Amino acid sequence: MSILIAEGVAVTTVAKIIGDTPEMVMKVYAHSLDDEELRATKILSSLIKLK
């Protein structure tokens, strides 16, 4: 399920697929979101430095 979240699939959709609540999906797979947020922050940082 981490792969789906990393690819941008909505947490509510992932929860529905696995038969769980969005809250539980967030609790179990939140590390994937943390990794993606860090990657996004690095990308934005590099873009800002270019300007």
Identify the pLDDT of residue 50: 57
End-to-end CA distance of the chain: 37
- Give the count of domains, the chain: 1
Residues 7, 48: Cα–Cα separation, whole Å: 24
Torsion angles phi and psi, residue 10, rounded to 5 = -60, 140
DSSP state, residue 9: -
Please write the tens of the pLDDT for every residue from 1-51: 888 887 888 889 999 999 999 999 888 887 767 777 788 888 888 888 755
Q: What are the structure tokens assigned to 16, written together?
A: 């529905």
Domain membership of residue 35 as a residue range: 2-50
DSSP state, residue 7: T
**pTM of structure:** 0.61
